């Protein structure tokens, strides 16, 4: 059933009964797990995978690593 058909049928329901479908829709939305909370927990897990016991490299160390990579790649 399309959204337009659903809207059309909503007006055919007696006024006293129209609130019940709204409650059912709201209830169905509340019972679904939040995708945002799932994403947040996955991101936290991924950050944990990237953690090390070593300090972050300095700018000079990063430049040296990049230079070394370029030498290996192009020579």
Domains of the chain, residue spans: 1-48
Say what the pLDDT of residue 68 is: 93
Say what the pLDDT of residue 71 is: 92
String of b and e for 35-60 (b: at least 16 CB within 10 Å)?
Answer: eeeeeeeeeeeeeeeeeeeeeeeeee
Residues of the chain with pLDDT under 70: 32-35
Say what the pLDDT of residue 30 is: 81
pTM flag (> 0.85): no
| Residues sharing a CB contact under 8 Å with residue 6, sequence separation 6 or more, in sequence order | none
């Amino acid at each position: 059933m399309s959204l337009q058909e659903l809207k059309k049928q909503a007006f055919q329901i007696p006024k006293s009964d129209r609130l019940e479908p709204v409650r059912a829709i709201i209830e169905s939305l509340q019972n679904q797990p939040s995708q945002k909370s799932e994403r947040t927990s996955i991101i936290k897990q991924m950050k944990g995978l990237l953690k090390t016991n070593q300090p972050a490299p300095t700018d000079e160390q990063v430049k040296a690593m990049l230079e070394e990579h370029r030498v290996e790649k192009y020579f």
